[in-house]
Structure formats: structure tokens, C-alpha cells
Structure 1
Amino acid sequence: MLSLFQILMLVLDIVWFFIIAHVIMSWLINFQVLNLHQQLVGQIWYFLNRMLEPVYGPVRRILPNMGGVDLAPLVVLIGVYAARIILANNISAFY
């Protein structure tokens, strides 16, 4: 059962990394440091969008309209961190 705990923590770490990468890329694209017309940048950007949009979509429907500010990644990051805390505090259930 400890393996299940470690796998769940790994999945949460990967999700955390994808969200952070998506946020940083969105900033770099908006400040025109990165260009979506570059093939590699475009592929990474569209991959991250396809991976994270199913997670962001329900959160965006719940959050009020903030006038162009997207708080969905922040809410999802808080949710991932909360899930890590819950798993770490209940590690005894995995033994």
C-alpha cells in the first residue's frame, strides 16, 4: 500500500509541475518572450492546454469573472497542495 501512496504523490507532483510550467509559459507568451509560431513552443503550449483544460474548466465555471485575470491555476494549485497534505496526514491508512 505504501507504493500506492508514493504513486499518488508522484502524480500530484507531475500535475504541480505541469501547472507551474503552464503559468510561466503563459506569462512569457503574454510578454512576447516566447512566440507561438515557433514549432516547439507551440507544441508544448498546446500540449499543456490539452492536459490542463479539463481541470481548469470546472474551476472556471465556479469562479466569478475577474475581468481577464484567470485564477483557475491558483485554485487548482491550492487543491493539489491540499490533496498532498491530506495524503501525507493519512499515510497510516496506506500501511
Structure 2
Amino acid sequence: MIALIQTIVLALDIYWWIIIASAIFSWLYAFNVVNSRNQFVDSVSNMLFRLTEPALRPIRRFLPDLGGIDISPIILLLILFFLRQFLLTTVAPLVV
């Protein structure tokens, strides 16, 4: 059972970094640092969007409009941090 918890924690950690990469990439894309017409850049953008949008969309529905500032990745990172800490401090000691 501890292996399952460690695998879930690892998946949460990987998704954490995917969300950070998506946020950084969106800034680079918005400020024209990366070439938006490049096929590789477009495929990376599409991959990051498809990985993060299903989790970010429900959060964006509840957040008020902040005038171009999107804090939904921060909210999602806080949720992931809570889940990770919950698994490590509450669930894992019960299994051992």
C-alpha cells in the first residue's frame, strides 16, 4: 500500500512541474519570446494546454475576473500541495 501512496505522490510532483512549465511557457508565448509559428513550439504549447486545462478550467469558473491575471495555476498548486501533504502526513502513517 505504501508503494501506491509513493506512486501517487510522485504523480502529483510531476504534475506540479507540468503546471509550472505551462505557466512559464504561457508567459514566454504572451511576450513573444518564443516563435509562435514554430511547429515544435506549437506542439509543446498544445501538449501543456491539454495536460493542464482540464484541471484549471473548473478553478477558473469560480475565480473572479482579475483583469488579465490568471491565478488559477497558483490555486491548483496549493490544492496539489495539500493533497501531497495529506497523503504523506495522514494516510501514509496509517498504512505503515
TM-score (norm: length of structure 1) = 0.94
**Cα distance in 1 between the residues matched to 2:95 and 2:15:** 21
What do you get for the CA RMSD once the two structures are aligned?
A: 0.9
What is the correspondence of 1:59-70 to structure 2 with a 5 Å cutoff? 59-70=59-70
The answer for the alignment partner of 1:52 in structure 2 is: 52
Runs of 5+ consecutive residues of structure 1 not aligned to the other structure: none
**Cα distance in 1 between the residues matched to 2:43 and 2:20:** 17
Aligned residues: 95
**Cα distance in 2 between the residues matched to 1:93 and 1:36:** 49
The answer for the alignment partner of 1:30 in structure 2 is: 30
**Cα distance in 2 between the residues matched to 1:53 and 1:94:** 33
Residues 4 and 94 of structure 1 are in contact (CA less than 8 Å); yes or no, is this contact kept in structure 2? no
Q: Cα distance, 1:10 vs. partner?
A: 0.9
Residues 36 and 42 of structure 1 are in contact (CA less than 8 Å); yes or no, is this contact kept in structure 2? yes
**Cα distance in 1 between the residues matched to 2:95 and 2:13:** 18
**Cα distance in 2 between the residues matched to 1:94 and 1:7:** 14
Kindly report structure 1 stretches of 4+ aligned residues shifted beyond 6 Å.
none
Q: Cα distance, 1:93 vs. partner?
A: 2.4
Verify: 1:13 aligned to 2:27, yes or no. no
The answer for the alignment partner of 2:94 in structure 1 is: 93
**Cα distance in 1 between the residues matched to 2:26 and 2:17:** 14
Runs of 5+ consecutive residues of structure 2 not aligned to the other structure: none
